[in-house]
């Protein structure tokens, strides 16, 4: 039998090699440049014990029941203009079958500035909702019972402040912090690496992250304290393997920082969550998700000695790839997003955001947002893909690619360790350069038509059809500025000043800053004022730009 199988393979190989190959000049490697064989067979499978979902190392999923137990959470990221308008959009999405909220903040909020700051001009409410103080947060969640939904908040440098605002709104609704569920992005390392929304230098930034993890472990135990993100690394141009490696390396850096604080691994590890990109190279993405679970489980158990199984399980959110979308023939983006979403589901994601077709031009309209959500519902309820757990497990190709992802990630871990760890690697620009090189390489491949983006460098049309886009009313900026000035006027000034002074003192010492931030938030100190108080102690960070 063995001999006959061998002969068959040889025969196939001969025939393959003598068959004419397409001469379109296109790359046959993955979009990340991993060379691919034309065929994978049993010979490409590593010798491994039979793996089962819900069992270490979780390659096939963290739940023994896969999506049979529970479908993924359909969580559409949204936020724009004012808190009132975004509140209306949330109620619309919840009424349309979405089961979790995900807040997008505008740039001034992400950068810790109030709407009336001079550098906020032109930015207020544009790529998310403007939140200046607890008053805005109250409006944002008006009529939405925080004890019954989960909320994800995409914010980093000022993350702890926004979490405190959420806790304070819940207090006013009569919901104790212990009942709150949700996720704070709070991943400052990938800001230094890729998205660049940093404010403080790395050390105090890490302190704030650890403060919030430590505080939540006690007070907000159902909260995912951090969403360790590869999404932004990938969107900045990295390969799939770089996304995987840099994200998990960041995860380990947070674990190290918490251990240094004196926390026990099993007290916080299960609240760490992850966030990945689902790019257009279908199989490579599925392999990436599977490899991520396997690597994390092994490191948590073997290197960090976590005892509890829940500490070993990598849970993740996925967003389809913004960079894969095109302004040209934008309806094609619906198809791209559907394929990427399918990869996320086959990779076993816990929650998913599908991009709207018009996001390459502006924030999504109601119609585009609904189509994006419906795409997920179509996957969940029409295609049948949720019926079988890890349906591609055992595929010669996919298993080999999963192993390859793991190999490449481990090689990067070694290089990062040689540089001295994640923060030293940030400071010497290691990640930034790796990502910029990969982005440039990909761009050249497009220019040389070794890769095709349909509608961009091939299959173009002369006349582009216009699609409707969402416009932010320019008057919003002055309205929101007026609103924040009103908050400053109406509050108890002495209470606010006192809270900010206490915060400043605490920042200069070693206390956990969360209780101080909560007090400042409750006293209606604005986000900008709170950040300013910390900047006075921590200073700010400027990166050396590398091209």
Partner 1 sequence: MAKVATKPVRIVVAKVGLDGHDRGVKVVARALRDAGYEVIYTGLRQTPEMVVDAALQEDAQVIGLSIHSGAHMTLFPAVVDELKRRDATDIIVFGGGIIPDDDIAALKKRGVAEIFTPGTPLQDIVDWLRKRFPEETR
Binding residues for partner 1, rule: CB under 8 A, are: 107-108, 110-111, 113, 119-123, 126-127, 191, 195-198, 235-237, 323, 326-328, 360-363, 435-436, 439-440, 443, 446-447, 453, 456-457, 466, 469, 472, 474, 542-545, 547
Q: How many other C-beta atoms lie within 10 A of the C-beta of residue 458?
A: 12
Work out how close the CB of 545 gets to partner 1 at its nearest, in angstroms, rounded to a whole number: 4
Q: How many other C-beta atoms lie within 10 A of the C-beta of residue 97?
A: 11
Number of Cα atoms under 13 Å in the Cβ half of residue 306: 24
Work out how close the CB of 526 gets to partner 1 at its nearest, in angstroms, rounded to a whole number: 17
Work out how close the CB of 439 gets to partner 1 at its nearest, in angstroms, rounded to a whole number: 5
Q: How far is CA 289 from CA 115, 201, 345, in A?
A: 38, 31, 10
Closer to partner 1 at the Cβ: 159 or 286? 159
Work out how close the CB of 237 gets to partner 1 at its nearest, in angstroms, rounded to a whole number: 5
Work out how close the CB of 493 gets to partner 1 at its nearest, in angstroms, rounded to a whole number: 29
Work out how close the CB of 253 gets to partner 1 at its nearest, in angstroms, rounded to a whole number: 20
Name, in order, each residue with C-beta under 8 angstroms of 124's C-beta and a sequence gap of 6 or more: 106, 108, 115, 130, 476, 477, 480, 481
Closer to partner 1 at the Cβ: 393 or 455? 455
Q: Name the DSSP letter for residue 125.
A: T
Closer to partner 1 at the Cβ: 263 or 323? 323
Please tell me the distance from the alpha carbon of residue 245 to that of residue 230, in angstroms, as a whole number. Answer: 9
Work out how close the CB of 157 gets to partner 1 at its nearest, in angstroms, rounded to a whole number: 11
Work out how close the CB of 423 gets to partner 1 at its nearest, in angstroms, rounded to a whole number: 18
Pairing of strands 150-154, 101-104: parallel
Among candidate residues 306, 304, 338, 336, the one with its CA nearest the CA of residue 323:
336
Please tell me the distance from the alpha carbon of residue 166 to that of residue 138, in angstroms, as a whole number. Answer: 8
State in Å, rounded, how far the first CA of the chain is from the last one: 57
Closer to partner 1 at the Cβ: 435 or 514? 435
Show the DSSP H helices in 174-239 as ranges.
188-190, 202-219, 231-235
Closer to partner 1 at the Cβ: 28 or 460? 460
Residue 123 phi/psi, 5° resolution? -110, -15
Closer to partner 1 at the Cβ: 179 or 471? 471
- 255-291 b/e (C-beta count within 10 Å ≥ 16 → b): bebbeeeebebbbbbbbbbbbbbbbbbbbbbbbbbbb
Beta-bridged to residue 458, according to DSSP, are 454
Closer to partner 1 at the Cβ: 110 or 184? 110
Work out how close the CB of 105 gets to partner 1 at its nearest, in angstroms, rounded to a whole number: 11
Please tell me the distance from the alpha carbon of residue 461 to that of residue 455, in angstroms, as a whole number. Answer: 7
Q: How many other C-beta atoms lie within 10 A of the C-beta of residue 448?
A: 11
Work out how close the CB of 192 gets to partner 1 at its nearest, in angstroms, rounded to a whole number: 10
Which H helix or E strand runs over 411? helix 396-419
Residue 453 phi/psi, 5° resolution? -110, 115
Beta-bridged to residue 415, according to DSSP, are none
Work out how close the CB of 488 gets to partner 1 at its nearest, in angstroms, rounded to a whole number: 22
Closer to partner 1 at the Cβ: 381 or 440? 440
Among candidate residues 382, 232, 431, the one with its CA nearest the CA of residue 319:
232
Q: Name the DSSP letter for residue 544.
A: P
Work out how close the CB of 208 gets to partner 1 at its nearest, in angstroms, rounded to a whole number: 18
Please tell me the distance from the alpha carbon of residue 150 to that of residue 157, in angstroms, as a whole number. Answer: 22
Closer to partner 1 at the Cβ: 36 or 469? 469
Q: How many other C-beta atoms lie within 10 A of the C-beta of residue 129?
A: 28
Closer to partner 1 at the Cβ: 320 or 376? 320
Please tell me the distance from the alpha carbon of residue 523 to that of residue 500, in angstroms, as a whole number. Answer: 9
Closer to partner 1 at the Cβ: 136 or 390? 136
Work out how close the CB of 79 gets to partner 1 at its nearest, in angstroms, rounded to a whole number: 13
Closer to partner 1 at the Cβ: 37 or 443? 443
Closer to partner 1 at the Cβ: 95 or 545? 545
Q: Please name the residue that has the structure tokens 């400053």.
A: 488
Contact 531, 178 (CB under 8 A): no
């Amino acid at each position: 039998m063995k001999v006959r199988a061998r002969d068959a393979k040889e025969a196939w190989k001969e025939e393959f090699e003598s068959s004419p190959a397409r001469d379109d000049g296109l790359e046959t490697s993955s979009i990340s440049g991993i060379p691919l064989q034309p065929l994978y067979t049993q010979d490409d499978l590593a010798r491994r014990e039979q793996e089962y979902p819900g069992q270490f190392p979780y390659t096939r999923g963290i739940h023994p029941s896969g999506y049979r137990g529970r479908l993924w959470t359909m969580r559409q990221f949204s936020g724009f203009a004012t808190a009132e308008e975004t509140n209306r959009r949330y109620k619309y999405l919840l009424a349309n079958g979405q089961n979790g909220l995900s807040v997008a903040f505008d740039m001034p909020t992400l950068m810790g500035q109030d709407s009336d700051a001079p550098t906020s001009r032109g930015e207020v409410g544009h790529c998310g909702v403007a939140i200046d103080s607890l008053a805005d947060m109250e409006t944002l969640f008006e009529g939405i019972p925080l004890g019954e939904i989960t909320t994800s908040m995409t914010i980093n440098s000022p993350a702890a402040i926004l979490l405190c605002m959420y806790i304070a709104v819940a207090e006013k609704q009569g919901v104790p912090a212990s009942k709150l569920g949700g996720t704070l992005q709070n991943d400052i390392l990938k800001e230094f690496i890729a998205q660049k929304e940093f404010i403080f230098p790395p050390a105090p930034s890490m302190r704030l992250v650890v403060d919030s993890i430590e505080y939540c472990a006690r007070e907000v135990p159902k909260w995912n304290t951090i969403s360790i993100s590869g999404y932004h690394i990938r969107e900045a141009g990295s390969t799939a393997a770089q996304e995987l490696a840099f994200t998990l390396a960041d995860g380990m850096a947070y674990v190290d920082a918490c251990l240094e604080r004196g926390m026990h691994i099993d007290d916080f590890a299960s609240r760490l969550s992850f966030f990945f990109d689902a790019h257009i190279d279908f199989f490579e993405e599925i392999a990436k998700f599977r490899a991520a679970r396997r690597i994390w489980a092994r490191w948590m158990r073997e290197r960090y000695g976590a005892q509890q199984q829940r500490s070993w399980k990598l849970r993740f959110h996925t967003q389809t790839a913004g960079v894969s979308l095109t302004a040209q023939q934008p309806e094609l983006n619906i198809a791209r997003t559907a394929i990427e979403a399918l990869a996320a589901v086959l990779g076993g994601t816990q929650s998913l955001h599908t991009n709207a077709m018009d996001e390459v031009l502006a924030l999504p309209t109601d119609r585009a947002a609904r189509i994006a959500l419906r795409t997920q519902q179509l996957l969940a309820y029409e295609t049948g893909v949720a019926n079988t757990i890890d349906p591609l497990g055992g595929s010669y190709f996919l298993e080999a690619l999963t192993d390859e992802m793991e190999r490449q990630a481990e090689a990067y871990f070694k290089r990062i360790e040689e540089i001295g760890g994640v923060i030293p690697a940030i400071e010497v620009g290691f990640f930034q350069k790796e990502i910029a090189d990969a982005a440039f390489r990909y761009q050249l491949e497009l220019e040389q038509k070794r890769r095709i983006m349909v509608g961009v460098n091939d299959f173009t049309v002369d006349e582009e059809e216009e699609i409707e886009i969402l416009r932010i009313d320019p008057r919003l900026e002055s309205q929101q500025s007026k609103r924040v000035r009103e908050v400053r006027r109406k509050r108890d000034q002495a209470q606010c000043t006192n809270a900010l002074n206490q915060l400043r003192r605490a920042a200069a010492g070693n206390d956990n800053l969360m209780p101080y931030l909560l007090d400042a938030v409750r006293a209606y100190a604005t986000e900008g004022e709170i950040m300013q108080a910390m900047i006075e102690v921590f200073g700010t960070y400027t990166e050396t730009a590398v091209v």
